[in-house]
Structure 1
Amino acid sequence: MPHTETIEELYKARKAWLPSNLRHELGHFNVFRLDDVGKGAKPSPYRKRDWYNITLVHGPGKYLYADKKIDVRKHALVFDNPQVPFGWEQRDRITGGFFCVFSPDFFHSLANPTQYSIFQPGGHALFELTAEEASQANLLFERMFSELRSDYLHKYDLLRALLLEVMHLAMKMAPNENLRTQVLTASQRITVSFLERLEQQFPIDSTEQAVSLRSAIDFAPRLNVHVNHLNRVVKETTGKTTTQIIAERILQEAKILLRNTPWSISEISYALGFGQPAHFNNFFRKHTESSPLTYRHV
């Protein structure tokens, strides 16, 4: 897997002042203007970062996230998390914007970023904005930029509130995807626990790792429910079967590993829990109509 960029490296690359409390137990937050975009701007490397990132862009560009390439047309809010690689392939037509970085403990007990779908590997990470929505988001980022540089005693409390407002601005555009922002039913709680258990197996950072939970039968005992009940509530809550959801997540990780590691097909297949490389090949062909090797070189 390519090198995971640290937040210290971000500061050094921007030639910015390196805060002494960067890894402080109270959490870290900062906000920057997008001042390295426009004509002649270089792509932003596709890799994992060890911080949470929210970007507001104005102008067209091409965003890379997990195994996807997404064209931004005019304005967008983008949410990145430490588990998924991301980057920008085209930045020369972006005219401006902001991005903020923060550590998971910045919110303390106020919120947990992982509870929101925008910061989950399978969640909705990019939101196209209307001109009105972009203006609203821009005002929030301008306020964060201004407040961070103020002498106000409680500015970090205010910054947390502004950051949450940016997050909710996006999540309100996709209310059906955000089960965890509502009061959950028993079925939804089981589904959320299932999704969390599934996600805990990723990302795969070493060939020494191996996915061990690969079916509803594997998950049910760990969630203290009968497998039939698990299958039923997941289907009711998400519209998908447990088999579909597990396969989609394994396929997503397979694409990331094929594109971003030098590992052999055999190493990837074993890391993803396939007993034989042939089983992985059959799985990949079934879901993509392509072999893993062909996908790697496209």
Structure 2
Amino acid sequence: MSSKNLVVKTLNELYELMGIPHSMVDQTSGFTILYLQDQFKELPISSIPFRPNYFSFAFIKDAFGNYTIDDLHFNMVPGTVYFTNPGNFRKFEWQSITDTCLIVFNESFLKEQVYPEIYRDFSFLLTETVEPRVLKPEQFAIIEELYRFIYREHHGNSPYKNKVIGNALVVLLLKIKEYFFQDYNPIHEGNRSSQIVKTFKQNLEQHFRDLAGGKTGTQLRVQDYADKQFLHVNYLSSVITSKTGKSISAWIADKTIAEAKAMLQDKQMNIKEIAGKLGFLEASHFSNYFKKHTAQSPAEYRKQLV
């Protein structure tokens, strides 16, 4: 798996590169739900290698195929629930698809439409690699009711649909946690590099939780994250980049923007307060940083919110 062949892409960009229709992919909200049988008309099909920047759940009611995550290979059969998070090398192949639903979402959607402390209740979202699981038919039927409801809402016209979807997603995640993770034993936990990645993600989440809670007012540097694991900064940087396809600085930037967007939802907080909560000494520094990464100022982003 040569890194030169890996592509970090959104779902929209992935489908475009593969020549797959992508009009059903929502490029604005950070959330998409679709049925793969509507997307992949010519089978079998193999994807290009990629590293996604989104979380995904595949609910495989009736289909056959396989997925590759890093150097691990998993068969996809009817009744399977398959979860992945951002960063890992990915490739999929489908031999047949009769009924399979795909949900993808980014961290900004979780923070804005679900709730900021999402990882506290659903820590499995931070886990690097989780083995797919075949559910009992009665369990899958309950999951199916939930994702079909979410699909109807997503393709409806309610002005509150993202909030409705966010709350329904909590229910879906709770049922997945109940069925999937009661005896949760993530694979690769014994792998040194994977443990470093998981600990880094946990430290990143905890630091931003401390910032939001007022427990600290200082941003952490790459060196600080290395110090937390007693690692040389170059080694930590190498592990994170090689395992996730994204640098530590990029992880920090993406996390900062996701938290900022969530805070901007609260009209009671002014931009100076938000800047302070995120560890920026000056509101102007925060505004410049936000615009650099989103092409919008915080005020412009807030103005477009419903």
- TM normalised by structure 2 equals 0.53
Render the CA deviation track for 1:17-65: whole Å, top value 9, x for unaligned: 388x835xxx421211112458722123332112222211133321212
Task: Quote the Cα distance in structure 1 between the aligned partners of 2:197 and 2:69.
Answer: 23
Q: Which runs of 5+ in 2 are unaligned?
A: 186-194, 205-221, 232-238, 246-306
Separation in 2 of the partners of 1:54 and 1:126? 10
SS in 1 for 2:167: helix
User: Is the 8 Å Cα contact of residues 59 and 95 (structure 1) preserved in structure 2?
Assistant: yes
Are residues 1:30 and 2:68 paired? no
Offset at residue 9 of structure 1 (A): 1.0
Is the Cα contact below 8 Å between 2:79 and 2:137 reproduced in 1?
yes
Q: 1:112 to 1:82 in 2, by over 3 A?
A: farther
Matched, 1:80 2:87: no
Whole-Å separation in 1 of the counterparts to 2:73 and 2:140: 22
Q: 1:175 aligns with which of 170, 182, 194?
A: 182
The answer to whether structure 1 residue 106 and structure 2 residue 109 are counterparts is yes
- Name the structure where helix makes up a greater proportion of residues: 2
How high is the TM-score relative to the length of structure 1?
0.55
| Partner Cα separation in structure 1 for residue 228 and residue 85 of structure 2 | 26
Please give the alpha-carbon distance, in whole angstroms, between the structure 2 residues aligned to 1:32 and 1:171.
22
Distance 2:198 2:91 in 1: 25
Tell me the residue number matched to 1:94.
Answer: 97
User: Could you tell me the percent identity over the aligned residues?
Assistant: 14
Residues 4 and 47 in structure 1, CA contact (< 8 A), matched pair in contact too: yes
What's the offset of the Cα at 1:198? Answer: 6.8
Q: Distance in 2 between matches of 1:66 and 1:140?
A: 30
CA–CA separation in structure 2 for the residues paired with 1:79 and 1:199: 19
**Does the 8 A contact of 1:37 with 1:92 survive in 2?**
no
- Secondary structure of 1:45's match? coil
Alignment CA distance shift 1:3-1:253 (3 Å): closer
Q: Which secondary structure does the structure 2 equivalent of 1:158 belong to?
A: helix
Amino acid at match of 2:90: F
Matching of residues 239-258 of structure 1 within 5 Å = none
Matched, 1:161 2:167: yes
| Partner Cα distance (1:126, 1:163) in 2 | 19
Which residue does the alignment assign to 2:257?
none
Give the counterpart of 2:45 among 33, 42, 54.
42
- In structure 2, C-alpha distance between the alignment counterparts of 1:129 and 1:113, rounded to whole Å: 24
Question: Secondary structure, in 3 states, of the residue corresponding to 2:86?
Answer: coil
Partner residue in 2 for 1:53: 56
Structure 2 residue matching 1:60: 3-state secondary structure? strand
Q: How many residues align?
A: 204
Moved more, 96-105 or 5-14: 5-14
CA deviations on 1:249-279 (whole Å, 9 max, x unpaired) are x6x997x69xx9xxxxxxxxxxxxxxxxxxx
Residues 113 and 253 from structure 1, CA distance in 2 versus in 1: closer, same or farther, beyond 3 angstroms? farther
CA distance, structure 2, for counterparts of residue 76 and residue 198 of structure 1: 27
Partner of 2:263: none
Q: How far apart are the structure 2 equivalents of 1:6 and 1:111?
A: 22
CA contact (8 A) 2:7 2:49 kept: no
CA RMSD of aligned residues (A): 4.3
Distance 1:75 1:214, change over 3 A: farther
Distance 1:112 1:39, change over 3 A: farther
Structure 2 counterpart of 1:40, one-letter code: L
After superposition, the Cα gap between the structure-2 partners of 1:214 and 1:44, relative to the gap in structure 1 and judged at 3 Å, is farther
Q: How does 1:253-264 map to 2 (within 5 A)?
A: none
Between the aligned partners of 2:46 and 2:102, the Cα distance in structure 1 is: 16
Q: State the SS of the aligned residue for 2:97.
A: coil
The 8 Å contact of residues 126 and 201 in structure 2, kept in 1 or not, is answered as: no
Q: Which runs of 5+ in 1 are unaligned?
A: 179-191, 202-208, 220-249, 261-298
Which structure 1 residue ranges, 4+ long, deviate > 6 Å from structure 2? Answer: 198-201
Contact 1:4 1:48 in 2 (8 A): yes
Match of 2:290? none
Larger CA deviation: 169-178 vs 47-56:
169-178
CA distance in 2, matches of 1:14, 1:161: 30
